[in-house]
Amino acid sequence: MRTARIARRTRSAMALVAGAALLGLSACGTDTGAEPEGTPAAPATSSDGGGAEPSDGTGGAGERTRIMLSTDLGLDDASGEGALVLGSDALAALLAEPFGGSADCEAELVLAPGAAPVDCLGPAGIESIEPTQEWVAHGVMVPAESDVRNGSSVAVLFSTGTALPEAAEDLLDEDVTLTGLGFGSVYGMDPLGAEDVAAGTLQTLTSEFSYVPVGQMADWEDVTCQDGLDFAQFETVDCEATTAEGTTWDLVVAPGTYVDNDQGLLVGIDRTSED
């Protein structure tokens, strides 16, 4: 394995700590219908927030799958031919950065849907910065800034454990672009009904504080979901978003227990499903 040890960069640390504190303060209730208040900006490089995590171990029974969506990879999407590749050292640094600790990744990651995932060891939590937690890295797509319909960019989805659960593999589909939003430490403490998931999903689509804001890409008006979510199980539910113009988009929605322990949603938008 290759090892990457990085010092917490002042700018990154300040942004992460401030964002986590503000998200935790603004989302301490269970009402997902209100926009998070007081948050100055969306997280720029990884999806993390504040709150209490169920456990800080290494993937034992009963632990929630924690995730990190990293969108700023420091790569030029337009350079070269074929799929972009993130070296093992760069991948490890990306995983370690929010914790200010160290991480090890076994191989380079090909940034293409369907490419082989990469196993890593990384910090189990902010207070456990040495690589003691198993993580797996997947190449995923996120909406491009210009248009959710036609554009996408590469990103990395880290999740705890040795593989993404089969019930959530549709997040890796080449036509699915990901975004997410944290709502606070108590969100998802109890299983969410379908209406609660729909309300949180609509807020994720419309919020300027989402990890990849898509509120200006479509006039999102309504979301319906086929089922609720239990955050103890990392799986997706099928939802459908409708715009003010009457177009519909297929969605897949998963629990979002983000690395800094903010609870929220991870939303996949099928960019080929517009009617």
CB contact at 8 A, 104 and 2: yes
CB atoms inside a 10 Å sphere around CB 151: 15
Beta-carbon count within 10 A of 62 CB: 8
Q: What is the residue type of 231? A: F
Tokens 């479509």 belong to 218
- CA dist 126 and 49 (Å) reads 11
Higher-scoring residue by pLDDT: 121, 49: 121
At 156, phi and psi to the nearest 5?
Answer: -125, 130
pLDDT on residue 69: 94
Q: For residues 72-90, give the mean pLDDT.
A: 77
The single-letter DSSP state of residue 192 is B
Report the C-alpha gap between 126 and 123 in whole angstroms: 7
Indicate whether 230 pLDDT > 70: yes
CA atoms of 69 and 76, how far apart (whole Å) = 18
Residue 118: burial class (beta carbons within 10 Å; 0-12, 13-18, 19+): buried
Least confident span in 26-40, 178-192, 194-208 = 26-40
pLDDT band at 148 (very low <50, low <70, confident <90, very high): low
Query: 263 pLDDT exceeds 90?
Result: yes
Q: Which has more pLDDT, 227 or 124?
A: 227
Longest CA–CA span in the chain (Å) reads 51
d(CA 210, CA 204): 6
Of 125, 111, 120, 89, nearest in space to 6 by CA:
89
Q: Which of 1, 5, 24 is nearest to 261 (CA)?
A: 24
Mean pLDDT of 32-53: 40
If you average pLDDT over every residue of the chain, what do you get? 78
Helix or strand holding residue 197 (H, E): helix 194-206
Residue 52 reports pLDDT greater than 50: no
Angle in degrees, CA 13, 14, 18, rounded to 5: 115
pLDDT attached to residue 259: 86
Average pLDDT over residues 189-204: 97
HSE toward the beta carbon, residue 201, CA cutoff 13 A: 35
Radius of gyration of the chain (CA): 17
pLDDT band, very low/low/confident/very high, at 262 (cuts 50, 70, 90) = confident
* End-to-end Cα, the chain, rounded Å: 47
Average pLDDT over every residue of 140-151: 76
Per-residue pLDDT at 34 exceeds 60:
no
Mean pLDDT of 24-50: 40
d(CA 200, CA 31): 9
Q: What is the pTM of this model?
A: 0.76
Phi, psi of 25 (to 5 degrees): -70, -40
Tell me: pLDDT of 4 over 80: no
